[in-house]
Amino acid sequence: MNAADREVKHRADKAFYARCIRQLKEWGAPTDGWRCIGINDVREDDRDAPLSSCELCGCAHVRYEHIMDNDLYFEPVTVGCICAGIMEGNVLAAEERERQMANRAKRKRNFLKHKWQHPWRGYWRRVYRGREVEIFESGGRYTARAGGRAASRYKGRPITDFYSAIYAAFNLADPVEDIVCERNR
């Protein structure tokens, strides 16, 4: 990038920043004090799933939804990476969350390929990152267990097939909260 390009980019960034701040003010929302309380990969289970839109700047190409919360605002706001960074005053932190989510998506693809031990009917187990991960089935209902937590629902629905049980097991064994809460804890 030459100096002229950098200057254009810098001005664009400044204009973008100003537009985001203006939008917050129009909503009557605070311009600082925001923190990320969740991050969602809209293509986590389906690589062709439609992308999301940023509620602040309107960008329609958001794969990772950053859920931003503020004690002085009545509801969380779902935005893309740069807007999240502007809201929390730290674009690098928002970019780092996305990088970690991309790594987690890779780990999930590997997790799905991995074989499970199946010592007896209705029970599967494997070790992931040094932790035991288990799946139980009884009467067509599955429960996943890892790291001292259990889940019998996935994305709000009871788990009735082995693949959803694997997805639920991954969420327990490699929780998104580890990425989101790193800075907020």
Residues that bind Zn ion (CB under 5 A): 54, 56-57, 59, 79-80, 83
Output the smallest distance, CB 80 to Zn ion, in A.
4
Q: Which residue lies nearer to Zn ion by CB, 83 or 165? A: 83
Tell me the H-state helices in the chain. 3-27, 81-88, 91-113, 162-173, 177-180
Give CA–CA dist 78/92, Å, rounded.
18
Output the smallest distance, CB 119 to Zn ion, in A.
49
Q: How many CB atoms lie within 10 A of CB 132?
A: 12
Q: Angle, nearest 10°, between helix axes 81-88 and 91-113?
A: 130
Output the smallest distance, CB 83 to Zn ion, in A.
3
Q: Which residue lies nearer to Zn ion by CB, 36 or 83? A: 83
Output the smallest distance, CB 69 to Zn ion, in A.
16
Q: Which residue lies nearer to Zn ion by CB, 57 or 93? A: 57
Phi-psi region of 59 (alpha: psi -120 to 50; beta: other; left: phi over 0): beta
Q: Which residue lies nearer to Zn ion by CB, 56 or 172? A: 56
Give CA–CA dist 174/167, Å, rounded.
10
